Amino acid sequence: MTKTRADFELGDSPMFETLDEVKATLRQHFEIKDWQGVEIIMAAAVAHYLPGEMLWLRIIGASRSGKTELLRAIAEHPGFAEIEAITPASLRGGFKKAPKLLDRINGKLVIDKDISAILTARKDMRNEIFGLLRGVKDGKLTADFGSDEGHLSQEARFDWLLASTSYIEQQRQLEGLLGERFIDVRWRPGDREEMAFRAATNNPYLENIRAQLAVDVISLMCRAEQLTKTESYILSETDLRTIAGIADTAAIARTPIQQDRQGHLVAMPDPEVGTDLAQGFSRIAGALLLLGMTDFTPYIQRLAWDCIPSARVKLLQRLQAKSQTVPELAKATEIPERTVYYVIEQLELLKLVKDNGGMKELCKHLNM
């Protein structure tokens, strides 16, 4: 029998207790404050067992802040795959008969604990990787190798959880122009000194701690896989309408503006349509329901904000509260005034913000 969100109360899912075991192990050994972030990461992993388009979730946070411990545990699942570095050649696969990266990860949940190898690659290689990933995300990558026989078409579907530092912000312009393919969640670290203390305390026992966390996580994943085979957890039309509204607003707000080095507009923006975000958000929402989170809207709203460049987020959230001048916004957000002018101009081009006698205000209420 198919069940919808209305059929469940918080904690009604048999997964709720299993998720609590994962959180208890984390709480015992690590300094974690972002429990909503933990639930989102686990939901993205569980979403691998739900039908839908590929889900690529990127966890952005400071180095050594604890965001990768869950990914490390998820990666221990024998049915999943890990990657640490990607090159254009590895994506294309090469014409020679040999193992292909896309063949190895096809149908799997892929874990990448650090994408710095991509971000620190030569600019031309990095640009090429982002371009190829666009084709991969669409499900098919076709490459020609300069001869009549040298034609290779690969089809692959895989979900992807990867971690990144905030350096990714510097790549958003290029990535956005090539077509956004990721959903972002910004990891919120705990107390810095306490994290360092816990790390020193755990150091002699880290292998055992990670093994225990992996057991808890794999247990949760196995139960989720079995549960999705026996019951379907679907979203109502109202839920899907809510998700679509959030996705549409987020897609507009994260659309890049193409400008030259002097900040002059190169082309009028063509805002992204929120289809890809809506598909990813709905899979995560279904997984949250599976985990016992009946009110998943705050999670989806957070993901929407986290997908938007951070400077835009600060200004939009201030303007949600009240209209303000640029100097007032700069003071409140601690963003340099010149940068505020620059970002506000982008938001005006996207028709999210307007000027009213020197006061900057939202054009409409944001569905987030």
Q: Is 111 helix (H, G, I), strand (E, B) or coil?
A: strand
The pLDDT tens digits of the residues spanning 268-285 come to 778 889 999 999 999 999
Fold of 310-362: Arc Repressor Mutant, subunit A (1.10.10)
What residue segments make up the domains of the chain, in order of their start?
A: 3-254+285-299, 310-362
Position 2 scores a pLDDT of: 42
Q: Which of 302, 258, 62, 32 lies closest to 168 in space, CA to CA?
A: 62
Confidence at 113, pLDDT banded by 50, 70, 90: confident
The residue that leads in pLDDT, 47 or 168, is 47
pLDDT above 70 for 95: no
pLDDT above 60 for 195: yes
The pLDDT tens digits of the residues spanning 97-111 come to 667 888 889 999 999
CATH number of 3-254+285-299: 3.40.50
Position 3 scores a pLDDT of: 43
Task: Please check whether residue 359 is in contact with residue 318, taking contact to mean a CB–CB distance below 8 angstroms.
Answer: no
Position 312 scores a pLDDT of: 96
pLDDT above 60 for 165: yes
Which is it for the CA torsion 13, 18, 21, 22, positive or negative?
A: negative
| Whole-structure pTM value | 0.89
